[in-house]
Copies of this chain bind each other. A is one copy, B any other.
């Protein structure tokens, strides 16, 4: 097997303490000694064993990112973007990143218990037991895009209200007054946040409204297309649609609306 600190100690004739210091606190070791250490280390292709180190220091320098969404994976662009941000930050330090999926929340729990992970980032709707287990052990924890109100926990969430405002304002400024709402199936928390905003803004901008302008759709391109066709063929159809997500937006645009029609979603817009 590969070399250990003892091998280096033997080869260099120095104690393991010195070897350890040469690597971890170089300036606590005389120049000449450091040389000897590194020579021996090089010869043996030695590098301090991270597990031994973790054992002695009682820290793993590892954090975990858990995507807590039914069937969601890193393929979900939303979480991929978050993951990227985390990686960026983690890479600045000596820490490393573990990722896993909600399906495996039991494993995440195990990791919390087994102290393998120094901190958790949970994306999405995290299981309450998981949260309990982690925070109950005083392991640092951040929730991202969690869809419930959590007291005493650090959460990073989207500013739903402002997002909706941007959308509505954009459409309003383009002259639209009849704006339909193509909602998605969100958790009650997000749902409330987002659509409450829409209806408030609807009043604020004095938009025209009929109940037929509202539709809750599955996250499904084809059905969005069908529904949008229906929506747009009614009398006094909306001149614009606010879609809950990209898939719905694409479906709406696919329904071949008339020119001038506009479809907006959270952070980007498409028009015909």
A160 at the interface (CB under 8 A from B): no
- Whether the pair B51, A115 counts as a contact (CB closer than 8 A) is yes
A225 at the interface (CB under 8 A from B): no
- Tell which of B49, B60, B84, B116 touches A74, judged by Cβ atoms closer than 8 Å: B84
- Whether the pair B87, A100 counts as a contact (CB closer than 8 A) is yes
- Tell which of B75, B104, B110 touches A47, judged by Cβ atoms closer than 8 Å: B110
A11 at the interface (CB under 8 A from B): no
A50 at the interface (CB under 8 A from B): yes
A107 at the interface (CB under 8 A from B): yes
Q: How far is the CA of A220 from the CA of B117 in the complex (A)?
A: 40
> Which stretch from A91-99, A151-159, A170-178 is at the chain B interface?
A91-99
Select from chain B the residue with minimum beta-carbon distance to A59: B51
- Whether the pair A48, B114 counts as a contact (CB closer than 8 A) is yes
Q: Which 3 A-B pairs have the closest CB atoms?
A: A47-B113, A50-B114, A50-B116
- Whether the pair B111, A96 counts as a contact (CB closer than 8 A) is yes
Given A54-B51, A80-B74, check contact A101 B115 (CB 8 Å).
no
Closest CB-CB distance, A53 to chain B, in whole Å? 8
Closest CB-CB distance, A55 to chain B, in whole Å? 5
A247 at the interface (CB under 8 A from B): no
Q: How far is the CA of A53 from the CA of B110 in the complex (A)?
A: 14
- Tell which of B51, B52, B99 touches A97, judged by Cβ atoms closer than 8 Å: B99
- Whether the pair B91, A84 counts as a contact (CB closer than 8 A) is no
- Whether the pair B99, A87 counts as a contact (CB closer than 8 A) is yes
A25 at the interface (CB under 8 A from B): no
